[in-house]
């Protein structure tokens, strides 16, 4: 992972994040989360259809 401590929007992102895994180290670091799920061949919760 990159230096995630530099993300100025983490707290805002965490409040908006629909993911149930709130203890995930990528929670609030959207670019890291999307990259992780893309590599795994799936979508993060925020990009899945439905609620």
Q: Is the pLDDT of residue 5 over 80?
A: no
- Mean pLDDT throughout 6-13? 92
Cβ-based neighbours of 45, under 8 Å, separated by 6 or more: 17, 18, 19, 20
Q: What is the pLDDT of residue 50?
A: 62
Q: Is 37 helix (H, G, I), strand (E, B) or coil?
A: helix
Q: Is the pLDDT of residue 35 over 60?
A: yes
- Mean pLDDT throughout 12-28? 93
Q: Is 35 helix (H, G, I), strand (E, B) or coil?
A: helix
Q: Which of 36, 34, 26, 37 has its CA nearest to residue 4?
A: 26
Cβ-based neighbours of 3, under 8 Å, separated by 6 or more: none
């Amino acid at each position: 992972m990159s230096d995630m401590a530099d993300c100025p929007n983490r707290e805002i992102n965490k409040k908006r994040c629909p993911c149930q895994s709130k203890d995930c180290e990528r929670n609030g670091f959207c670019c890291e989360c999307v990259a992780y799920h893309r590599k795994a061949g799936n979508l993060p919760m925020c990009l899945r259809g439905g609620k």
